[in-house]
């Protein structure tokens, strides 16, 4: 939000750096996986729903899904 201000007419580039083998990387991967599962289950990509397993659904419902890339 801070990089893109009201009235700004130039494109804003945001680079998110994630260090390998860190908790942050695991959080990003978990968020990405949950988003893929949710999109498959909710119909954004109908082919993904056929690939869902019981474990996938349990994982999806176990903790709230967040997307660290939402504000990009």
Domain count, the chain: 1
Q: What predicted TM-score, i.e. pTM, was given to this entire model?
A: 0.46
Q: What is the pLDDT along the chain (72 residues), one digit of tens a residue?
A: 567 778 888 888 888 899 999 999 999 988 888 888 777 777 665 555 566 677 877 777 776 656 666 655
* Exposed / middle / buried, residue 34 (Cβ in 10 Å: 0-12, 13-18, 19+): buried
Domain-located, residue 4 = no
Domain-located, residue 36 = yes
Rounded Cα gap, residues 32 and 65, in angstroms: 9
Give the domain range for residue 49.
23-62
């Amino acid at each position: 939000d801070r990089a893109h201000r009201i009235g700004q007419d130039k494109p804003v580039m945001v680079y998110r750096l994630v260090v390998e083998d860190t908790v942050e990387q695991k959080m990003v991967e978990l968020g990405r996986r949950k988003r893929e599962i949710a999109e498959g289950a909710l119909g954004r990509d109908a082919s993904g729903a056929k690939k869902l397993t019981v474990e996938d659904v349990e994982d999806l419902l176990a903790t709230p899904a967040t997307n660290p890339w939402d504000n990009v």
